[in-house]
Amino acid sequence: MKKTIFYLFLSFCFLTFSLVDQLEAQALGRKNAQDILAKLDQELNLGDGLIKSNLVLIRRTGASETWKVNLFRNEGNLLYLMERKGRGLETKLLSLDEGDRVFVYNSLSTKLFRKAEEEKYEIFQNSGFSFIDLSGYLYQANYDPIVNGETEINGESFTRVTLKPIITYDYKKLVLLMSKDERPFRIDFHDKEGVLYKSLNIKYAKIKFKTSKSVEQKEVAARLEMLDLSTGNIGVLEIQEVDTTVKNDPALFEVENLAR
């Protein structure tokens, strides 16, 4: 009888320790996944100030269009001013509170639109980038990440992370590939049915980066290439220069000033 009780006690201890190990492993996995998302947000957020870039639309036919983009950032608020050669200032895109509210002002028609939650996933100018993609929203705050092991591309190994949206609208899931040096490499977007319909390739290059202490050539996520599989179009956001010394007037981010 005593031996039976002893063996039962040992079994209980073994199961308890195994459960604790599993819980600790799960907690570590969640922490690692959250750390990866934090790194993704860090790489894509180039800081407050003024970011000069180009948005290039390359159609399946090979024809292309280019917008000159000035992006003003300040504490989770973004204002895009988009100009096209021969047309001047076309669009003002205002994102407030990390994409919580998104407004689009068409300078040519002088019409202002506030995007509803579902409308934030509409594609801007056939570029493959949705309004929510451009809004500066944080992946860590909007997705639940799960590490799914490793995958290999051209001999290089990447960590594969599935991102499930906390609130589902248009994206059922995203799949992030993270390099071993902790740089985001690609994000695959899956629609409501779980079908892959666009991919964002993230490429790094040195650009002019100005701070209050120095002006240097800094390597950043300088080229974002969005392939829209449904249209064959490619949208390329090319970052050219970052100036964090620009102190943006809060009035820039007021909706009533968009028409000015």
Q: Give pLDDT tens digits for 152-173.
A: 999 999 999 999 999 888 899 9
* Domains (range + CATH), the chain: 42-257 (2.50.20.10)
Q: What is the mean pLDDT of residues 13-41?
A: 60
169 — phi, psi (to 5°)?
Answer: -120, -80
Instruction: Pick the closest to residue 91 from 76, 115, 70 (CA basis).
Output: 70
pLDDT value at position 2?
52
pLDDT value at position 20?
38
| CA contacts within 13 A on the Cβ side of 134 | 35
Q: In the chain, which ranges are continuous DSSP H helix?
A: 2-44, 131-134, 139-142
Q: Is the confidence at residue 3, as pLDDT, over 90?
A: no
Coil, helix or strand at residue 253: helix
The radius of gyration of the chain's CA atoms, rounded to the nearest angstrom, is 23
**Token match 């990447």: residue?**
158
pLDDT value at position 5?
54
CA separation, residue 170 to residues 4, 96, 119, 242 (Å): 57, 20, 9, 31
Residue 116: DSSP 8-state:
P
Instruction: Express as a percent the part of the chain with pLDDT over 90.
Output: 84
Residue 32 corresponds to which amino acid?
N
Residue 102: DSSP 8-state:
E
Instruction: Express as a percent the part of the chain with pLDDT over 70.
Output: 88
Q: Is the confidence at residue 13, as pLDDT, over 90?
A: no
Q: What is the mean pLDDT of residues 80-106?
A: 95
Q: Between vectors from CA 57 to CA 227 and to CA 74, what angle results, nearest 5°?
A: 90
- d(CA 200, CA 176) in angstroms, rounded, equals 10
Instruction: Pick the closest to residue 180 from 200, 204, 160 (CA basis).
Output: 160
pLDDT value at position 168?
84
Q: What is the mean pLDDT of residues 226-236?
A: 97
Say which residue, 248 or 25, is predicted with more confidence: 248
Residue 180 corresponds to which amino acid?
K
pLDDT value at position 197?
95
Q: Is the confidence at residue 217, as pLDDT, over 90?
A: yes
End-to-end CA distance of the chain: 88
Q: What is the mean pLDDT of residues 123-139?
A: 96
Q: Is the confidence at residue 146, as pLDDT, over 70?
A: yes
- d(CA 211, CA 243) in angstroms, rounded, equals 6
Instruction: Pick the closest to residue 50 from 211, 259, 256 (CA basis).
Output: 211
Q: Going by C-beta distance under 8 Å and a sequence separation of 6 or more, which residues neighbour residue 20?
A: none
CA separation, residue 38 to residues 44, 142, 145, 161, 228 (Å): 10, 12, 11, 13, 26
